[in-house]
Amino acid sequence: MSINNNNQEAAKSREQFKKENNLKPAKVRRRRIRVRILPIWLRIIIVAVLIFLSLIAGAAVGYGVVGNGEAKDIFKKSTWTHIVDLIEKE
């Protein structure tokens, strides 16, 4: 029987707790304003520049190290026409 009494007291205290919480005014939630350090358009430009630089670095490593050429030769038009001719040749 003491277990039942304890449960009833606990239930009463829970009910009292709920009533006390309902009497308190609800907290007003403030929306957090997010300030972006870099605007989205600037992020897109940065990503585009990084992709371009990685392409240049990849071509320099590929042509200079793997292809046993000079890395600075990737900036010459004759190098690219030669590469395109090799690819298109059947």
pLDDT tens by residue, 4-59: 666 666 666 777 777 776 665 556 778 888 888 889 999 999 999 999 999 999 99
How high is the pLDDT of residue 3?
60
Q: What is the mean pLDDT of residues 63-67?
A: 88
The model's pTM is: 0.55
How high is the pLDDT of residue 6?
62
Q: Provide the b/e sequence for 66-79 (b: ≥16 CB within 10 Å).
A: eeeeebebbeeeeb
3-state secondary structure of 69: coil
Mention every residue, 6+ apart, whose C-beta is less than 8 A from residue 23: none
- Cα separation of 69 and 74, whole Å? 9
